[in-house]
Amino acid sequence: MKPGLEFENNGMKLVCLAFYSLGKRNVGLFRRESDGMYITARNTSQDADGSYSWAWGHYFKEREEAERDYQKRLEEMCQYTD
């Protein structure tokens, strides 16, 4: 997934701000269009219908807080190998 990609998840319209994948894992930073909430999510994948889903997500009002969480999740993910 590339930054700038617009996509849907459970009826939410989102835009990808940052995304990193390592082996079978990934972490993303997204912004929800309806209210500007920021979401960090792990293991985002595309569904058969073209929408996307993820294993879990954390929601933030402030971009800086979401960016810190994204970095934390990225560092945690990189500690493990497939």
Confidence of residue 81 (pLDDT cuts 50, 70, 90): low
In a domain, residue 53? The reply is: yes
Q: Please indicate, yes or no, whether the overall pTM of this predicted structure exceeds 0.95.
A: no
Give me the pLDDT at residue 82, please.
57
Q: What single letter denotes the amino acid at residue 58?
A: H
Q: Beta partners for 69?
A: none
Number of domains in the chain: 1
Give me the pLDDT at residue 12, please.
87
In a domain, residue 28? The reply is: yes
In a domain, residue 1? The reply is: no
The enclosing domain of 58 has a CATH number of 3.10.450
Q: Which residue range(s) make up the domain with 61? A: 6-78
User: What is the distance in angstroms between the CA of the first residue and the CA of the last residue of the chain?
Assistant: 20
Chain segment 48-61, per-residue pLDDT in tens = 888 888 888 899 99
In a domain, residue 61? The reply is: yes
Q: Report which of 72, 14, 82 is spatially closest to residue 46, judged by C-alpha positions.
A: 14
